[in-house]
Structure 1
């Protein structure tokens, strides 16, 4: 007669490996995806700052320059796939703080936005977690600018 062989822990290693794999792999996967999302957002905000600086510098005056800078920043973020987040565009200039489009001014555009971190359900904490990003770009206004001359037709 054969005696049954006691199994003990035989075969449980595979079960433990699967459970540990799931418990460790899911957070690691979330961290990697979040890092990629933040890096993409950093590229997008940097591009938005460059675009906003160029748009402001090419505008005829400061008021239309601010509108053009905000529109350019939003478009640059949208081109990179970032939509539905608040965007703040601030413009400062030196040495003429009253008129940024005069002579040898140097303008600095700072774009601030945020990236919503992926794969987080809303029930875990109200607002979805996000990461704030900002970037600045400095543009010199040329000494020699094109002047719109009033030319009468002959």
Structure 2
């Protein structure tokens, strides 16, 4: 009688656990995988922002120092920086650029032009209405100094 009762209890215990390991594995897998995927997406977007900021600063400085006149230098630098931002999927409104010269005129031989760009990288999957209430973006900035060619004629 005791032996029969033990067998019945053992069968009941085995029947209650059937298939629950698969459910637990899927549940825990999804629970851990979703934040991991979000983290990878966020880091990839931040890396794109860092690359866009540094490329925009470098290309803006290069566009400025290779200009033929003072009047065309700044629009040329801004256009080059805007193209660099758009290459990484950022809108022109997402970035800002500031220019600074070490003397007057800026395009004199061996003149230094400093370009600083800042890109605001929004976090993925955050709705626009939430961004209006709480700033959910990360600013990434870069600075590049361009030097005007030594043998360039002064404008």
Asked if Structure 1 and Structure 2 have the same fold, meaning a TM-score greater than 0.5 normalized by the shorter chain, the answer is: yes
- Helix, strand or coil for the counterpart of 1:112? strand
Structure with more helix by fraction: 2
In structure 2, how many angstroms separate the alpha carbons of the residues matched to 1:114 and 1:79? 15
Q: Which runs of 5+ in 1 are unaligned?
A: 149-154
Sort the Cα spacing of 1:107 and 1:147 in 2 relative to 1 into closer, same or farther, 3 A: closer
Considering only aligned residues, what root-mean-square deviation do their CA atoms show, in Å?
Answer: 2.6
- Cα distance, 1:121 vs structure 2: 4.0
Aligned to 1:137: 144
- Measured in 2, the distance between the counterparts of 1:84 and 1:144 equals 34
After superposition, what is the alpha-carbon deviation per residue over 1:69-128, rounded to whole angstroms, capped at 9, x for unaligned?
11111111112222254221111122x1x43222332111111112222233456x3447
Show structure 2 runs of 5+ residues with no match.
1-6
Matches of 2:77 and 2:71, distance apart in 1: 10
1:107 and 2:116 aligned: no
User: Whose Rg is larger?
Assistant: 2
Distance change >3 Å, CA 111–CA 33, structure 1 → 2: same
Aligned to 2:3: none
Could you tell me the TM-score, scaled by structure 1's length? 0.79
Q: Which residue, out of 12, 17, 24, partners 1:16? A: 24
Aligned length: 145
* Superimposed CA distance per residue, residues 18-59 of structure 1 (whole angstroms, 9 cap, x where no aligned partner): 111111110100001111111122112211111100111122
